[in-house]
Amino acid sequence: MSNFDLPAEMAIQSGKLSTLIPADLKIPMVAPKDIATLAAACLQDARTGIFYIQAKDEYSAEDVTRILTTISNKKITPHEIPEEKWSSYMQENGFSSNSVESFIGMTRLTIDEKFQAPNPETGQTTLEEYLKQTIKIPE
């Protein structure tokens, strides 16, 4: 969910939420607070291993814009960046050449291969709760 922090604040200013993935593609997300809660429980219980955590629901950029529209009282729409413009878009936004290459690979993987976490823990924070708590709405 925190991957949307800066894009959400920019969207409130501009009225559009830029996204590299299709605006209607729902993906697993989780709030940092829920990750911290799981990590603390693992430490407390001396649990080791690999743990997956995600919110109860999966969300899309369209969900983000719907929530931002509600909490900001300003119409926010998703803006899909075409794949042929990914590299230039990322470089314009401060990504290094190496990080652009890695991020493009990660983005393609996210779009092309649906990952199903085995037995994920469920975070309690919804996307709406997270955005309401995190995003600063200008007065």
Q: Is residue 124 domain-resident?
A: yes
Q: 29-47, pLDDT tens digit by residue?
A: 999 999 999 999 999 999 9
Q: Is residue 94 domain-resident?
A: no
Question: Could you tell me the CATH number of the domain that includes residue 53?
Answer: 3.90.25
Q: Which long-range contacts (CB under 8 A, 24 or more apart) does 41-46 make?
A: none
Q: 46-105, pLDDT tens digit by residue?
A: 999 999 999 999 999 999 999 999 999 999 999 999 999 999 999 998 999 899 999 999
Q: Is residue 61 domain-resident?
A: yes
Q: How far is residue 94's CA from residue 92's CA, in Å, rounded to a whole number?
A: 6
Q: Is residue 86 domain-resident?
A: no
Overall domain count for the chain = 1
Q: Structure pTM?
A: 0.89
